[in-house]
Structure 1
Amino acid sequence: MNSRAASTSAETGQDARLDLLREWLAGMAGRRDLALDSIRPASNDASFRRYFRVDAGAGSLIAMDAPPPQEDCRPFVHAARVFGEAGLRVPAVLEADLERGFLLLEDFGGETLLDRLQGPTAPDEAQIDRLYRGATGALLDMQAASRPGVFPDYDRALLERELMLYPDWYLARHREATLSDSDRNTLRAAFDALLANNLAQPRVYVHRDYHSRNLMVLPGDEAATPGILDFQDAVYGPVTYDLVSLLRDAYVAWPEERQLDWAVRWWESARKRGLPVPGDFGGFWRDLEWMGLQRHLKVLGIFARLHHRDGKDRYLADMPRVLAAAIEVAGRYDAFGPLARLIDRVENRALRAGYTF
């Protein structure tokens, strides 16, 4: 069921999944002290998953609805265990019905990192730095625990499938662009260059969506260690992926000098902890930018698909931020000159000069 159909069902009182969830929760209401009449939406995301908050004693818990066959709770439960053992703040899985796609989880509250940054009382520079040091510190903890064979490999097939979202959904569907053979060759050459770089990078655990909407600000934590959500798609892949996801977030933009400061601090800490990062920061920054370009192109395709296929229009407002990041990197490196010119033509813009390391 897509988001429009789910909304219609809820409006007409025919939300069969919610009825099943209520029935499941009723079976544990006594031992979990659940107030079943308090069930209300907590959030939803870009997938078919939905989250509901339910009062439990003096606090509350989160019920996840991940409808099969579109979703599978098993990777979430597995990743929660792995990351929890690494010392990360991930929600405890309290109850699970893996066959029907229901989980009962610890509630981290309702304030994401993005909420804090965009709230009515904006944090000052020192507070922002503390929040991001907390986020990069947790990322280091996750990566330091890495070992092969725990999560699926972030292999060429998956990276390439993600890149193809850009021509298939953003260019063809969203921009209604007709690509010539030359255009397709340009994309192929750019994708091959990106993939060669991405696959040559050292490998660690990769969250795949480590950004401000999936990091929770937890009350009373002076170290600003975030609560981490939405980790069910974790893989074993490029060391720069999660860092660039955080620093070049689809939902908030930071000046490049600030990105560089946070990246240098992360890189220095990673070296001290023995993580597999290049000894030269310039090479590391180039790897981060190229990994970021792969992600930016993918995200443009995902946002277009969410709009056109799933009726989730709210992501359209974030497209310009992601596009600007892609343009910046494509215009900075000679390897992506033809791609930059293709983007310029599609977007009706003039290429601006950049610099490289």
Structure 2
Amino acid sequence: MGQAIGGLFGGRDKVNDLADAVLDRHRLLDQFLERNGLLDAEITALPVDCSFRRYFRTERNGMHRIVMDAPPSLEDVEPFIKISVLLNRLGFSAPRVLATDVLNGFLLLDDFGDTTFTRALSEGYDEFALYCLANDVLSDLHCRPVDEIASSIPTYTDTKLLDEAVRFVDWYLVEGLQLPITSQARDDYLEAWQYCLPVVREAPDSLVLRDYHVDNLMVCDGIKGVAACGLLDFQDAVIGPMSYDLVSLLQDSRRDIHQNLVDDMLDRYFGAMGRTLDRAAYMRSYFVLGAQRALKVLGVFTRQSLKFGNHRHLAHIPRLWCHTLSNLSIPELTPVRNWIGRHVPEDKRLTPDTRNRSGINVPG
């Protein structure tokens, strides 16, 4: 068994290095807990998603806290600290940072509990009410002057958007489906997106949380207004088109949302934003970013499966294709639609069979 594991991970020495790294993180975690009077607390590991961060719940004398463990070589905790302070200053509910060890990548945070919007929906909470609350958070945020929130926050550049969009080619098509996409075809894909991206700027700029969907929203009982919605996973926030988070919410990669509810939420959003917002221009941006995001996530979910053995998100591939094709129907996305039609015909729009190919030796 030891020899087989050694071969998989590149030799016995590498296995030992990995074990040492894990033990070192445990030691550093214990030191962080001790400095914050939590070494004797009950510790529970929380589920992880598509990042290198780990989370633990501590309980001591009836007091609950969350510890974020973000290895500094893989994650930077400072953006989380900065955005948390900003969101709380603006009156939203983000976990406050109670203690830090930036050098080693540990944060002590407020604990918002376990009731994500996803769990609430599964337990019979009112879907319309939850989406109204999530929608109102965005309209409240988007009504703020961008100058009030833009200081030292990176911008969502076209370069970043292109880097994300090409994950569809590099991971979903080439690594996942193993389609023969040439370097010239890849360049043509990027050129098609470069032609389409100016449309996203037709929506005004605001703070973009970037992963705004029901898995990352929390029910905060006993709080009124937009603060009743707890916000998670915002460390990658940027200044960019405000349409991004709305399409992230209403074209959820992980759950189906009835079109009637989508229409109601769009009407509610534009009603709150007022007549000065050009709805037609905004919606063009919404659909272009919806296509960019869906294609990006096709690549992200494939990479998670291949590189880390995290296969559960592959179940969402058909839904992502539905979002993609719906968004690509607008004329502003004709170049990308034509590229998809040439290189990914309908019979190739599949869920990658990656389960026997996953492992740490996958490049990228």
C-alpha distance in structure 1 between counterparts of 2:43 and 2:183, whole Å: 54
Aligned equivalent of 2:119: 115
Aligned equivalent of 2:156: 154
Stretches of structure 1 that go unaligned for 5 or more consecutive residues are 350-357
Secondary structure of the residue aligned to 1:213 is: helix
Deviation (angstroms), 1:312: 1.6
The correspondence for 1:212, drawn from 211, 214, 219, is: 214
C-alpha contact (below 8 Å) 1:86/1:141 kept by paired residues? no
Residues 1:151 and 1:339: Cα distance change in structure 2 (over 3 Å): same
**Superposed counterparts of 1:90-105, under 5 Å:** 90-105=94-109
C-alpha contact (below 8 Å) 2:66/2:108 kept by paired residues? yes
C-alpha distance in structure 2 between counterparts of 1:11 and 1:75, whole Å: 29
Aligned equivalent of 2:189: 187
Residues 1:238 and 1:26: Cα distance change in structure 2 (over 3 Å): same
C-alpha distance in structure 2 between counterparts of 1:22 and 1:44, whole Å: 20
The correspondence for 1:54, drawn from 41, 52, 58, is: 58
Secondary structure of the residue aligned to 2:308 is: coil
C-alpha distance in structure 1 between counterparts of 2:143 and 2:237, whole Å: 15
Residues 1:86 and 1:35: Cα distance change in structure 2 (over 3 Å): same
C-alpha contact (below 8 Å) 1:207/1:233 kept by paired residues? yes
Aligned equivalent of 1:353: none
Aligned equivalent of 1:232: 235
Deviation (angstroms), 1:309: 1.6
Stretches of structure 2 that go unaligned for 5 or more consecutive residues are 1-7, 10-15, 350-364
C-alpha contact (below 8 Å) 2:202/2:282 kept by paired residues? no
Aligned equivalent of 2:141: 142
Identical residues among aligned pairs (%): 32
C-alpha contact (below 8 Å) 1:35/1:55 kept by paired residues? no
Aligned equivalent of 1:42: 46
Residues 1:217 and 1:348: Cα distance change in structure 2 (over 3 Å): same
Q: TM-score, normalised by structure 2?
A: 0.83
Secondary structure of the residue aligned to 1:152 is: coil
Aligned equivalent of 1:354: none
The correspondence for 1:242, drawn from 212, 225, 245, is: 245
Aligned equivalent of 1:306: 304
Residue by residue, what CA displacement relative to the aligned partner does 1:231-275 show, whole Å, maximum 9, x if unpaired? 110100011000000011111121223212201210121126x7x
Q: How many residues align?
A: 331
Deviation (angstroms), 1:190: 3.2
C-alpha distance in structure 2 between counterparts of 1:13 and 1:295, whole Å: 34
Aligned equivalent of 1:23: 31
C-alpha distance in structure 2 between counterparts of 1:255 and 1:339, whole Å: 29
Deviation (angstroms), 1:15: 3.8
Q: TM-score, normalised by structure 1?
A: 0.84
